[in-house]
Amino acid sequence: MYDIDINSKTPIYVQLYEQIKKDIQSNLKAGEKLPSIRKMTLEYKISKNTVQSAYNQLYAEGYIQSIPQSGYFVSKDLYETIQNNQNQEIINQKEENSIKYDFYPACLSNDLFPKKIWLRLYNKVLKSDLNMGVYHDIQGDILLREKIAKYLIQSRRVNCSANNIVITSGFSDSLHLITQLLKNFITKVAFETPSYKVAKKVFLQHDFKLEEIKVNKDGIDIKALNNSSSNLLYITPSHQYYFGVTTPIAKRVEIINWAKTNNCYIIEDDYDSELSYNNRPVPAMQSINNNQQVIYTGTFSKSFSPSIRVAYLVLPKEILKLYKKEFDYFYSSVPIDTQKTLALFIKEGYWDRHLRKVRTINKRKHDIMKDFFYSKMIDEIDILRQGSGLNFLIKPKIDIDLNQLVKKASKKNIKLYLRSLDENTDVLSMGFGGFEEEDLKEALNSFYTLWKKQER
């Protein structure tokens, strides 16, 4: 009845199991008795263990029942409709990479990532006695946290130590963790407007009410903040997310005082503070007056690599306590090999060197953009952001349909990115980070040709 091939690569018990299962699915009835192990042994000249293994598997999957002193029976309550596993065709959705020029506002050129050094350090890490069989520290690797603390103290004046740093896998991961903690006692967040739409979405996903607060030339509107009923402020003081404005020190102190007076928290998103082209970076707001109001977030995405998914939080004492309680099970989402390699990268001095390089190269590209806009387009656009980060923000002064422009550019394999200033006003976020220097001018010329055609 069953077809056993002793020369097959498939173990005999599996052959038997597969065939009996098929039999159950198509022929046998519920309650029907299966041949005894002894009978099977004799009939197919196979060992008792082999039959037992096949029956065990069928039993484990619930196809058969075992009744002591009686034998094995097809499960009584087995449904007729058993799995009909039509494997869906695997559709390969690989995006065709035909884009010629991509003005994405937040990427870095491929040549900036120090592959050789990284590889050397990675090899060193993996060849060490690093145990890959266990869960590591829930806050992140202690060595990496120490190195980040040292960097933040020196370069951003942040009040921190390895103890109040949490390693995360990107800004949105950081914000999810924080909103998860804060939502238990805070319901409303004051939000710079316009600002980072991802942050906005995460707050809304955690059911926060959003109080939009206007951004002036020198950052957030302090009067509006003082009149607000929120207990939390999300802010990008180093370079305001849209306009790149640096919040002046006086205003920073006022914001800190607002938080102290009203017992509020501030989320300081310091996403690209390393990339200041006209000035040295301004110290973090978190550093002012040893305050315990600021939850500081930083990332390696803008100045190192968005692909390695590493960011960090610096938590005030009370929030750290909450974190340890709420996320006692949540092992740092960054692989330990990545964490250890990055720690070594900073420890051995490569991080400082890399930062200088990333600043120099991106300043050059920034200046190419700036020269282009000022020499060719300054009568047609207002430049809303420049001088920092990886993008310009430009707003047409002329009558032009930006949506049409984006579409037509797309047909020419040029990717442009629209942002909303408010409900009625669209602007273009023009990233330069992803370009190799030599391509940038050509890309800008191509863009400008399309722009000219689109003018009304």
252 binds a second copy (CB under 8 A): yes
Residues in region 271-310 near a second copy by CB under 8 A? 276, 278-280, 282-283, 287-290, 301, 305-310
Binding residues for a second copy restricted to 31-50, rule: CB under 8 A = none
Among 82, 99, 378, 398, binds a second copy (CB under 8 A): 82
From the CB of 454, what's the least distance to a second copy, in Å? 27
Exposure string over 86-111, b if 16+ CB within 10 A, otherwise e:
eeeeeeeeeeeeeeebebbbbbbbee
The reply to whether 104 sits near a second copy by the rule CB under 8 A is yes
Can you tell me which of 1, 5, 133, 263 binds a second copy, judged by CB under 8 A?
133
Residues 395-434 that bind a second copy (CB under 8 A): 433-434
C-beta closer to a second copy: residue 298 or 433: 433
Select from 19, 37, 71, 153 the one that contacts a second copy (CB under 8 A).
153
* Position among 195, 242, 251, 274 found at the interface with a second copy (CB under 8 A): 251
- Binding of residue 364 to a second copy (CB under 8 A): no
Shortest Å distance, C-beta 387 to a second copy:
9
How near is the Cβ of 448 to a second copy at its closest, in Å? Answer: 24
How far is it, in rounded angstroms, from Cα 110 to Cα 121?
19
Of 39, 48, 197, 356, the one binding a second copy by CB under 8 A: 197
- The rounded distance, in Å, linking the Cα atoms of 195 and 420 is 10
Q: Which is nearer to a second copy, 26 or 87 (CB)?
A: 87
Which residues are within 8 A (CB) of 130 and not within 5 positions of it... i.e. 6 or more apart? 336, 337, 340
Shortest separation between residue 182's beta carbon and a second copy, angstroms: 12
Residue 199 CB, nearest distance to a second copy (Å)? 10
Residues 49-78 that bind a second copy (CB under 8 A): 53, 56-57, 59-63, 75-78
Q: How far is the CB of 142 from a second copy (least distance, A)?
A: 6
When asked if residue 209 is in the footprint of a second copy (CB under 8 A), the reply is no
261 binds a second copy (CB under 8 A): no
CB of 163 to a second copy, least distance (A): 6
Binding mask 305-344 for a second copy (x = CB under 8 A): xxxxxx---------------x--xxxxxxxxxx------
